[in-house]
């Protein structure tokens, strides 16, 4: 969605034979080169080229959006990490970036080797050496993002995914890394085995990376703030970065991360002889984080509800595997909608309401947003309006829908208030 490309994942019925260059579904085999059409919203793969219409953003569209903007209370931001995404988002009227997933910046060809060296290093100095090579790239990314977004808020999420996602798979890839980096292949293989996890999505990911290897988050915080200072120097306008820690569960974790962030910020400001404002906050992606939001609010100036993970962890359903059985649940009426598409307002929604209430009890002005895919779904946006969130953040291409849905939700709320 982020790139404006459709994708169907978890299509368990499709059997792919990579070697033969074919896939088979419902008794029909498709060969490489045959045309299929993908509807990413409905999760459909269709035979042949379906006739499509390119949406036109006409003057009428701008007028409608203008009306919507005049009515809505919720701000609308975009999930974006590349300059192209950020420009697209601004073009669609996003009022900031609500989620910049920094791991996407690590996969670039120029960087991936240093990233892999960092992950496979078995000590801090090895990690720091590799991080020093990644830092200039990270800083340059942020300079570009902050420049495009001008003074609009930009929420940057620190490294989140399980490290194994970056590890070269198979001996051949590790041998290639060893040859390119001069590192010992046998040692790299041993380390790759050590990093293997049985259940990586509940393993060493999110802020657990920053707790175990603080130097990773220090590098990222430094890159964000150095970039903000540079943009301020060049443009005269200071960006306000919002530094976001993922997968936090406990107040003590948030305290550690807040201190790490502030300590690093002060070091950067002292070196530069200048400062910028910044916020430190957290994602709420775990039921415990929602229930103990008051603990987190002691150290977090904002919460962003990561409802992809929060749905996953509330139901205990892996979002990557749900495609295998969710349809059966929907066919039997157990689920009305896929909860990864439309927010489960009863369960996940309750956790959001609890977190908002408990967070505000400790920090009245804690900023509240949502950045899971639900942030672009109209029914879920209506829920966010009711729960009193400050903003929704969604993929750039969904921003216009979100602006309209936010206006409709505000109107509906006003009407029900009036009729009471």
Q: Count other C-beta atoms under 10 Å from residue 32's C-beta.
A: 9
CA dist 171 and 169 (Å) reads 7
Binding marks (x or -) toward ligand PEP, 139..168, rule CB under 6 A?
A: ---------------------x--------
Spell out the residues 6+ positions from residue 318 whose beta carbon is closer than 8 angstroms to its own.
Answer: 201, 312
- Cα(281)–Cα(97) distance, rounded to whole angstroms? 14
Report the run of H or E that residue 98 belongs to, with start and end. strand 97-101
Query: Which pair of tokens denotes residue 326?
Result: 């969710």
Produce one character per residue of 147-161: b if its CB has 16 or more CB atoms within 10 Å, e if not: bbbeebbbbbbbbbb
Least spacing, CB of residue 52 vs ligand PEP, in Å: 27
**Contact between 371 and ligand PEP per CB under 6 A:** yes
**Cα–Cα distance between 165 and 126 in angstroms, integer?**
19
Query: Could you say whether residue 306 binds ligand PEP (CB under 6 A)?
Result: yes
Residue span 97-116 as binding mask against ligand PEP, x where in contact by CB under 6 A, dash where not: --x-x---------------
Binding flag, residue 210, ligand PEP (CB under 6 A):
no
Please, which of residues 72-101 interact with ligand PEP by CB under 6 A? 99, 101
Phi, psi of 4, deg, nearest 5: 70, 25
Find the binder of ligand PEP among 285, 295, 377, 390 (CB under 6 A).
285
Site for ligand PEP in 178-197 (CB under 6 A): none
Q: Which does 77 bind (CB under 5 to 8 A by kind): Mg ion, ligand PEP, none?
A: none
Distance (Å) of CA 38 to CA 7, 29, 151: 7, 17, 37
Give the contacts of 116 (CB within 8 A, at least 6 positions apart): 166, 167, 168, 177
Q: How far is the CB of 197 from Mg ion (least distance, A)?
A: 17
Query: Phi first, then psi: what are they for 101, rounded to 5°?
Result: -85, 105
For ligand PEP, the binding residues in 372-411 under the rule CB under 6 A are 372
CB of 370 to ligand PEP, least distance (A): 8
Residue whose CB is less far from Mg ion, 226 or 285? 285
- Taking residues 252 to 271 in sequence order and writing x for each that binds ligand PEP by CB under 6 A, - otherwise, the string is --------------------
We find the least distance from the C-beta atom of residue 417 to Mg ion, in angstroms, to be 33
Q: Does 281 bind ligand PEP (CB under 6 A)?
A: no
Name the nearest CA neighbour of 174 among 189, 194, 195, 156: 189
Please choose, from the candidates 229, 234, 78, the residue with its C-alpha nearest in 3D space to the C-alpha of residue 152: 78
| Rounded CA separation 284/367 (Å) | 12
Considering only the stretches 36-44, 211-219, 283-291, 386-394, report the one whose residues sit in contact with Mg ion under the rule CB under 5 A.
283-291
Residue 308 lies near ligand PEP (rule: CB under 6 A): yes
Instruction: Phi first, then psi: give them for residue 72, nearest 5 degrees.
Output: -80, 155
Q: Which stretch in 20-28, 226-234, 305-313, 379-387 sits in contact with ligand PEP by CB under 6 A?
A: 305-313
Burial tier of 33 (Cβ tally within 10 Å: 0-12, 13-18, 19+)? exposed
Count residues binding Mg ion (CB under 5 A): 3
CB 290 within 8 A of CB 310: yes
For the chain, the straight-line distance linking the first and the last C-alpha, in angstroms and rounded, comes to: 39
| Nearest distance from C-beta of residue 132 to ligand PEP, angstroms | 26
Is residue 307 a contact residue for ligand PEP (CB under 6 A)?
yes
Q: Which of these ranges, 126-134, 250-258, 289-297, 301-309, lies near ligand PEP under the rule CB under 6 A? A: 301-309
Smallest separation, CB 101 to ligand PEP (Å):
5
Q: In the complex with ligand PEP, which residue's Cβ is closer, 130 or 343?
A: 343
Q: Within 292-331, which residues bind Mg ion (CB under 5 A)?
A: 306, 309
Minimum distance from CB of 78 to ligand PEP (Å)?
12
3-state DSSP call for residue 82? coil
Q: Residue 325 — φ and ψ, nearest 5°?
A: -130, -10
**Pick 178 or 381: Cβ nearer ligand PEP:** 381
Describe the chain by its helix, strand, coil percentages, rounded to 5.
Answer: 55, 15, 35
Sole window of 47-55, 210-218, 303-311, 400-408 interacting with ligand PEP (rule: CB under 6 A): 303-311
Which span sits near ligand PEP by CB under 6 A: 51-59, 90-98, 129-137, 300-308?
A: 300-308
Instruction: List residues binding Mg ion (CB under 5 A).
Output: 285, 306, 309
Instruction: List residues binding ligand PEP (CB under 6 A).
Output: 99, 101, 160, 285, 306-309, 371-372
């Amino acid at each position: 969605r982020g790139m404006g490309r459709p994708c169907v994942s978890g299509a368990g019925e499709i059997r792919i034979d990579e070697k033969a260059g074919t896939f088979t579904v419902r008794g029909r085999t498709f060969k490489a080169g045959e045309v299929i059409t993908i509807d990413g919203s409905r999760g459909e793969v269709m035979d042949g080229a379906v006739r499509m219409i390119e949406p036109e953003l006409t003057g009428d569209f701008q007028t409608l959006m203008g009306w919507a903007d005049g009515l809505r209370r919720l701000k609308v931001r975009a999930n974006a990490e590349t300059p192209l995404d950020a420009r697209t988002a601004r073009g669609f009227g996003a009022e900031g970036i609500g989620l910049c997933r920094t791991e996407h910046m690590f996969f670039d060809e120029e960087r991936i080797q240093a990233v892999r060296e960092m992950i496979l290093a078995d000590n801090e100095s090895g990690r720091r050496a590799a991080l020093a090579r990644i830092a200039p790239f990270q800083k340059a990314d942020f300079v570009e993002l902050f420049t495009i977004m001008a003074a609009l808020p930009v929420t940057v999420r620190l490294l989140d995914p399980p490290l194994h996602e970056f590890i070269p798979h198979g001996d051949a890839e590790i041998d290639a890394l060893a040859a390119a980096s001069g590192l010992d292949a046998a040692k790299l293989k041993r380390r790759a085995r050590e990093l293997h996890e049985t259940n990586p999505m509940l393993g060493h990911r999110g802020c657990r990376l920053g707790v175990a290897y603080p130097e990773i988050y220090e590098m990222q915080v430094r890159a964000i703030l150095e970039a903000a200072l540079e943009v301020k120097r060049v443009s005269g306008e200071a960006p306000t970065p919002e530094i976001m820690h993922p997968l936090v569960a406990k107040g003590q974790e948030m305290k550690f991360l807040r201190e790490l962030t502030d300590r690093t910020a002060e070091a950067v400001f002292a070196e530069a002889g200048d400062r910028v404002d910044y916020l430190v906050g957290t994602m709420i992606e775990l039921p415990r984080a929602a229930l103990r939001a008051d603990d987190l609010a002691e150290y977090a100036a904002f919460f962003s509800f990561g409802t992809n993970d929060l749905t996953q962890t509330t139901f205990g359903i892996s979002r990557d595997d749900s495609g295998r059985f969710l349809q059966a649940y929907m066919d039997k009426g157990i689920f009305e909608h896929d909860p990864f598409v439309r927010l489960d307002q009863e369960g996940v929604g309750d956790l959001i309401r609890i977190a908002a209430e408990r967070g505000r009890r400790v920090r009245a002005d804690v900023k509240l947003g949502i950045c899971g895919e639900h942030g672009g779904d109209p029914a879920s946006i209506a829920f966010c309006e009711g729960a009193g969130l400050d903003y929704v953040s969604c993929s750039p291409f969904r921003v216009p829908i979100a602006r309209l849905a936010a206006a409709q939700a505000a109107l509906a709320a006003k009407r029900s208030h009036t009729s009471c």
